[in-house]
Structure 1
Amino acid sequence: MIAETICSAVSAAGLGIAAITAYRKRFLAATRIAAYSLVPVALVMTGVVQWLADKAFSPTAWVGVGLLGVSWLLFATTRMVERRAGVGSRKERRAANKAAQRDAVAPAASAPSLGSSAAPAAQPKAGKARKPAADSGDDFSDVEAILKKHGI
């Protein structure tokens, strides 16, 4: 009974504040305040307040809240143990991501196209004759072919 009285008083106060806000020609804010003010009365009329009051004084409900707390505590503890043990640590995930990125990229993709390459696989071997460097026109021949195909 007290909860219903408190909700009604809160709604009446909120509607009063909404009326003052509307008087000051702030109609959008007044409408929003009125909407929030009607929620407590609506909860009383639907019986939610009575249901909550019954649950608040129920020992079974408090045992359920306690079990939720224990469950959360167990989750938090296992998470902390995982972090301390390094299982699935951030470093391991980063290393795995870097390895996956390296494998996904072509080996010579990061080598510069005009100068000498830093990658040892791209260096010519000492025993073989060095091929003359391709002129820059050959590098863009396929691009030029595509552009000519589209009439550009």
Structure 2
Amino acid sequence: MLAETICSAVSAAGLGIAAVTAYRKRFLAATRIAAYSLVPIGLVLTGVVQWVSDIAFRPSVWLGFGLLGLAWLLFMTTRAIERRGVGTRKERKAAAKTAQRDAVAPAASAPSLGGGLPAAQPQAKPKQQDDATGEDFSDIEAILKKHGI
């Protein structure tokens, strides 16, 4: 009953403000204010206000909202843990076995950058310097040899 009275008072005040705004020749703003002020009385007449006030003052409803919030929190926590890859040891082992089975070369490790048998080095050609151009490519040749090219 109190909620309905408050909504009616708000609607009446809004319509009064709309009338003053229309008196000042601001018809578009007055129409918008009148539209907003009719919403609370419309909610009262449709019964929405009674339904909301019944929900707001029942402890069982708030307990239900609390349980829904707890369920949501648990879902989000488990999703975050799954994304991090943290799980039980059994789950991690099963995932590793599945990944190893799906691998193309399961015994292969990450590519090594050295430490294996040295590759056969091609015979270095004696340096031939073109005296006609006068350019020295020894530094470039040293870089290429360093990289095995």
**TM-score where L is the length of structure 1:** 0.50
* 1:34 aligned partner: 34
* 1:5 aligned partner: 5
Matches of 1:58 and 1:52, distance apart in 2: 10
- Alpha-carbon distance, 1:4 to partner: 0.8
* 1:59 aligned partner: 59
- Alpha-carbon distance, 1:59 to partner: 2.5
Structure with the largest fraction of helix: 1
Q: State the secondary structure of the residue aligned to 1:21.
A: helix
Paired letter, 2:65: V
- Alpha-carbon distance, 1:79 to partner: 4.0
- Alpha-carbon distance, 1:75 to partner: 3.3
Cα deviations across residues 52-75 of structure 1 (Å, max 9, x unaligned)? 111112232112211221123123
- Alpha-carbon distance, 1:78 to partner: 3.0
RMSD, matched Cα: 1.9
Identity of matched residues, %: 78
Q: 1:15 to 1:77 in 2, by over 3 A?
A: same
Q: 1:26 to 1:64 in 2, by over 3 A?
A: same
User: Are 2:50 and 1:16 equivalent residues in the alignment?
Assistant: no
Gaps of 5+ in 1: 88-152
Paired letter, 2:49: V
Paired letter, 2:26: R
Q: 1:86 to 1:18 in 2, by over 3 A?
A: farther
Q: 1:67 to 1:25 in 2, by over 3 A?
A: same
Cα deviations across residues 109-150 of structure 1 (Å, max 9, x unaligned)? xxxxxxxxxxxxxxxxxxxxxxxxxxxxxxxxxxxxxxxxxx
Gaps of 5+ in 2: 87-149
Q: State the secondary structure of the residue aligned to 1:25.
A: coil
- Equivalent positions of 1:1-152 (< 5 A) are 1-83=1-83, 85=84
* 2:121 aligned partner: none
| Larger RCO (CA within 8 A; separation ≥ 6) | 2
**TM-score where L is the length of structure 2:** 0.51
